[in-house]
Amino acid sequence: MNLLALSGSLRRASFNTRLAEVMAERAPEGAVVEVATCRGIPLYDGDVEDEHGIPEPVEALRQRIQAADGLILVTPEYNGGMPGVFKNALDWLTRPPKEMAPTFKDRPTALAGATPGGLGTTLAQAGSLVMLRQLKVHLHAEHLRVSQAGAVLGDDGEVEQKTAMLIEKWLSGFCEFARRG
C-alpha cells in the first residue's frame, strides 16, 4: 500500500508538511507514505497551458498521485478555506481534462490538516468538499484534524504521544478504506 501525503503549504517550517512527515514516519505495517508539496507549480494561466503545455512539476506530481493507492490532502486553513497555492495545484492537475479521471476519479482520498489554533482546519476541510465531489474522488469520511500544532507536532521528531496515536489510528483506518477500494 503506497500512500501520497500532499501538503498544501510552501513554508519550510510548515505544520502541515510536518504532519505529512509524521504520517510517513508512523505508517502502519505494509504501508508506505510518501510526502509531496506543491513547490515549483506556477499559477494556472490558460495562455501558458496553450503555449507551453503542462509544467513539468505538475506532470511529476500527477505521476506520483497516479502511482499511489491513496491520496492524503494535508491542507492548511487560510481565512476559512484551502490556501490558494493548494487549490491552484489541484486545478493544474485537472488539465488537460482527459487527465482528470485517471488522476482523481475513484481514487481513495482523505483530508487532513493542522493549525496552530484550536479548530484544526475544520472550515478548510468542509470547504474542500464541493471541489472533491467535482473531482469524483472516493473520499474517506474520517477527516484528520490536528489543533495546537505548535505544541503537539514536534519539529525534532518529538510528537506528543496522544497525537502520535491519533495519527497512527487514523492512518490505519485510511489504509483499510483504500484497501477496500
Q: Scanning residues 96 to 115, which ones bind ligand FNR (CB under 6 A)?
A: 115
Residue 110: how many CB atoms within 10 A of its CB? 25
**Per rule CB under 6 A, is residue 128 in the interface with ligand FNR?**
no
Residue partners of 67: CB distance under 8 A and separation at least 6: 2, 4
Is 112 within 8 Å of 143 (Cβ atoms)? yes
Cα distance between residue 163 and residue 67, in whole Å = 29
Neighbour-count burial of 106, counting CB atoms closer than 10 A to its CB (0-12 exposed, 13-18 middle, 19+ buried): exposed
Single residue of 12, 29, 47, 79 touching ligand FNR by CB under 6 A: 79
What's the CA gap between 27 and 169, in Å, rounded? 10
Minimum distance between the CB of residue 111 and ligand FNR, rounded to whole angstroms? 14
Asked if 147 is part of the footprint of ligand FNR (rule: CB under 6 A), the reply reads: no
Only one of the segments 78-86, 128-136, 157-165, 170-178 lies at the binding site for ligand FNR (rule: CB under 6 A); that segment is 78-86
CB nearer to ligand FNR: give 15 or 174.
15
Q: Given candidates 77, 108, 140, 153, which one binds ligand FNR under the rule CB under 6 A? A: 77
Which residues of the chain form contacts with ligand FNR (CB under 6 A)? 9, 11, 14-16, 76-80, 115-117, 119
